[in-house]
Chain A
């Protein structure tokens, strides 16, 4: 299940409502002429937070908070009980967890009252130490402050746009930016949902949907149809169990699967292109078995490495080809799944298979890319076995394939002779660096904090069911609805039709 809609549901929303046109404006009036600079009334009363600095080798991490409850966050986490600090002044404070009052870190805090802030709203910045443990702790502490929730993709930018803090060109890029961020989140979520945690969430989601369907059936049909009272009693038990399980999960930090950080780089390509050789070259040890037999690698081989200071998780995958071998077919399926989840794909091609004419080579590569990559994911083309090409052709390819439209960066290398490896590493390093510079890439802590917030909301909503169960079933059902929506933000949106489908499958409705 692709959680695209859910992960980013509601992201773009407020972006839209400051667009104004005067009465009778022509239909195609462009945004550039309709956006005025006055701070718009803010729609979102929510206060959001996110890690705003990148990952990898960083001494200082910046966590940003924006929205009306920013001052609350400052008060209860940086100990400003009496009055707030002077605006836009860095102060060194102890940063504490508001629940336990435990000191999490010592760092700088800055207070930016509205409208003179990046987002135009009240905002706070915490400059803390860059270790993952500290970052996680601070993000989770922020999540426990009433009124605060983790930001969705593009939300800070959107609020800035809304407040007239972004220039026209930045506004034009907003759609693309949100696309990139939601894609990153989608991949992050895919990675998490394919594991044990994903199965747990999915199970909760299925049970919750069934609870909701049964409550809704009881509301909509029990007066005319045969829907036994026992249905609600079973829902009561389910809701109680689910609430207890989710709360237990939230309390027990260890239960969460440890998420691997870092940029996910996947090596993919046809069989025998030299993918495993490339892996071994990159990690400088024989992590994968290399042989001249096509289809040697059958499962995903994973290695964590440090690339010029940035954490990288490198995966070698089975060569892509149609195979009748069951084991190999499974390997190919896993390979494609990995490519889908990758931040960066290294598409390895055997240079000897390239047509000699450059134009035809480019067309060949474009075609090959489209068969490996799901869409326009980030990738590098690695032309391996360059040593097998005549010198002249090698130079021609190297010169002329650079900057051909529709092709990513191309590196001509030989794992045999190490030719071109150094240049390739430079290109790879800069790609990884770009990825790490974006706080959303490979940031499991942020995803964890987001999951946590949604799960907390889910558990609280289930408590509402219990509270109203005997007095007002509509309000009780509202609790289950909110719980389904909250969990749906992790596992995928649930529509009214899906609930109706369960109802009609489980009950005979027909008056």
Chain B
């Protein structure tokens, strides 16, 4: 973050890079192409852009912005990405890691929709592990420690070689807003942006704002406060905030977050910490990669250590010097500062992970030690922890407070309901985390492109993806604290697994959204058909228990079962692997060996997914029933209580499904709304994974 200074570009002379037609290979590359020549910005007068009409402008170059810009370009939109510094595109502002439990699912899903972060993680990862390995494949959490430099390099090279995508260095002063298109719902329409310094206007049909913590951001260290969203970067223009609040009338709230100090690696005695090794066989995030860029033996370890009573003492003594902590802005319960942790759970020892920042980096990232006290006290605090007794701080930790737009004002396409063509993604919607930002960015970017190209926007259901859960939670419930993904938020966790994200999303991404390349699409079809064939082959193995005992003598098959069992039944046994079945029946199964693990998972989860199926179908039907956005709930001539009318008016649910999930909406109220729903045309088949029958929607 702050320590990574990039002073190369000059904000006062906006410049832009325009690269096109560099065909992006989706496979993990052996080498990144000519990075340095790509990164020397071609300076042009911004006046060249003034008359230019873009389809989509993306503001911000973080996780949300990069995925949004790349997705918009993939869908086919002429896209402009505007960021303060080209060199910080793809910067990991906080922790040097990607994925985890719940978050790993998001990375897999972004990858399944041809997003960047999965492949970037495979390129930049230096320590891979599958969390929850012993807890069942539905909750496996693929995770990697990243080399910050490599991650940024990958994202930059990928963006700068994406066709139809232009990157411009500059600062956005305000949004251009005009009268709405009367044929669409909304009170305003966005027509582009105006840059700071020179008031150049650039027009676009849609704009995606991914301003992260920069919207009215303030930085806090000790008792010092300064405007900004990240140390080392200029604050964003107050004009943007003003447009959103005053011109567009959007409700905003304020949240806080923080980051730990970065520690000089050589000053830490790692022999006093517990060594934590990565998986010996790194598993890539991307469905397109068979291996990671980092070789297994080149991976770096992490270290685990614990806080001491001294840490708590320092926190308590310095409270009056800590204005971030004293403010009552909502911070996350699950990624709290060390101050909040020791105050809420005193007298305990808390975990601190010491993580590498990169292969060549001299720094360590102390996960769990986010803090905002004055720098000299930060030093005192970390020295209370045994391995850091003589540690030096490279960059102190700090807190950030920032505005977010209450996300219930968004549609499930992440478009601001009141403003045609304006999309929001990332922390501006009240979320926290790279993966949450990337997921929203991809979806907002794809929809912004579809909007600009006059194609209908698309939605993801919470029954088919974690991205759908994330967006549905945001737009139908709103946030009261920074929102982070957990597997416990997904009702259909056993169906939404990291292993099947490609089956769930890639076909839809190609056929309905247009954000997936045909290379990836073809690959997903190959995988789907192979898995289907393999499961059919397994079901065709239909033997008596005694025959199975002969074939697989090592497996304890209950004698009492006199019925016939299929290969699929057998694969559900704990002790049976696909490899065992394949060696018993090589002629019918050996060709599917590459899918051995996926087949085992499919077999074990199939009965549970079948149970989920009915509920999933019900919810999907409700989600296909959209409620008009301009409906006047107070004047509807049906028997609804005033309370229900108020809730509906405030939230304006997009679908009947979203209305049902609102607190305080009665079943009778939902039935009364039936008269007003519009059934969305459903062209595709309900995604059912290998259940033999495919259920077609009966909505005409």
Contact = CB atoms under 8 A, between A and B. Distances in A.
Are A and B co-members of a single complex?
yes
Interface of A: 4-5, 8-9, 11-17, 19-23, 25, 27-31, 40-41, 43-45, 153-154, 174-176, 178-179, 182, 216, 218-221, 223-226, 468, 471-478, 496, 499-500, 503-504, 508-511
A220 B101 contact: yes
Interface string B312-334: 00000000000000000000011
Contacts of B679: 19-21, 25
Contacts of A4: 666
B132 A219 contact: yes
Contacts of B638: 175
B138 interface: yes
Nearest to A35: B674
B675 A510 contact: no
A510 B350 contact: yes
A218 to B, nearest CB: 8
Contacts of B700: 20-23
Nearest to A23: B681
B678 A21 contact: yes
Contacts of B333: 504, 509
A472 B335 contact: no
B617 interface: yes
Query: Which 4 pairs show the lowest CB-CB distances between chains A and B?
Result: A472-B136, A179-B668, A474-B136, A474-B138
Interface string B334-345: 111110110011
Given A20-B700, A499-B488, A510-B341, 13 more contacts: A8-B667, A11-B667, A12-B670, A16-B622, A17-B699, A19-B677, A19-B679, A22-B700, A223-B101, A226-B351, A496-B491, A508-B341, A508-B350
B618 interface: yes
Given A17-B622, A224-B351, A478-B493, A473 B135 contact: yes
Given A13-B618, A179-B639, A19 B666 contact: no
A21 B367 CA distance: 54
B667 A510 contact: no
Nearest to B348: A508
Contacts of A176: 639, 668
30 contacts: A5-B666, A8-B666, A9-B667, A11-B667, A12-B670, A14-B618, A25-B679, A43-B617, A43-B621, A154-B667, A174-B671, A182-B666, A223-B132, A468-B136, A473-B132, A473-B134, A473-B135, A474-B136, A474-B137, A474-B139, A475-B138, A475-B604, A475-B605, A478-B608, A496-B488, A496-B491, A504-B333, A508-B341, A510-B336, A510-B350
Contacts of A28: 628, 676
A40 B668 contact: no
Contacts of A500: 486, 488-489
A32 to B, nearest CB: 8
Contacts of B574: 471
A27 B639 contact: no
Nearest to A11: B667
Contacts of A510: 334-338, 340-341, 350, 368
A362 to B, nearest CB: 23
A216 B132 CA distance: 12
Contact of A27 (B139, B336, B628): B628
Contact of A179 (B666, B677, B681): B666
Given A19-B674, A27-B676, A474-B494, A224 B132 contact: no
Contact of B604 (A178, A472, A473): A472
Interface string B671-700: 110111111010000000000000000111
B542 interface: no
B241 interface: no
Contacts of B138: 472, 474-475
Contact of A12 (B137, B353, B667): B667
Nearest to A171: B674
Contacts of B621: 16-17, 43
A511 to B, nearest CB: 5
A174 B672 CA distance: 8
Chain B CB within 10 A, most for which of A4, A9, A40, A224: A224
A66 B141 CA distance: 44
B622 to A, nearest CB: 6
A21 B86 CA distance: 49
B102 interface: yes
B494 A43 contact: no
A137 to B, nearest CB: 30
Contacts of A225: 351
A175 B135 contact: no
Contacts, number: 179
Nearest to B332: A510
Contacts of B669: 175
Interface in B118-166: 131-132, 134-139, 141
A233 to B, nearest CB: 15
Interface size class of B (residues with CB under 8 A): 35 or more
Contacts of A153: 667
Chain B CB within 10 A, most for which of A27, A216, A473: A27
Nearest to A178: B668
Given A16-B674, A224-B353, A504-B334, A178 B101 contact: no
Contact of B139 (A15, A20, A41, A219): A219
Interface string B602-619: 001100100000100110
A182 B676 contact: no
A175 B668 contact: yes
Given A20-B699, A28-B628, A508-B341, A175 B672 contact: yes
B487 interface: yes
Given A219-B132, A220-B487, A511 B335 contact: yes
B699 A182 contact: no
Contacts of B134: 473
Contacts of A12: 667-668, 670-671
Nearest to B486: A220
Contacts of A475: 136, 138, 494, 604-605, 608
A468 B667 CA distance: 35
Nearest to B492: A478
A473 B139 contact: yes
B100 interface: yes
A30 B675 contact: yes
B625 interface: yes
A368 to B, nearest CB: 21
A506 to B, nearest CB: 10
Contacts of A468: 136
A295 to B, nearest CB: 34
A403 B188 CA distance: 50
B656 interface: yes
A475 B486 CA distance: 16
A406 to B, nearest CB: 15
Interface in B480-501: 486-489, 491, 493-494
B135 A219 contact: yes
Interface string B570-604: 00001000000000000000000000000000001
Nearest to B493: A474
Contacts of B604: 472, 475
A156 B550 CA distance: 52
Contacts of B628: 27-28
A485 B670 CA distance: 21
Contact of A182 (B141, B344, B494, B668): B668
Nearest to B334: A509
Interface in B485-523: 486-489, 491, 493-494
Contacts of A15: 671, 674
Contacts of A29: 678
Contacts of B340: 510
A473 B134 CA distance: 8
B353 A175 contact: no
Nearest to B368: A511
Given A11-B667, A43-B614, A176-B668, A478 B494 contact: yes
A508 B345 CA distance: 7
B487 A219 contact: yes
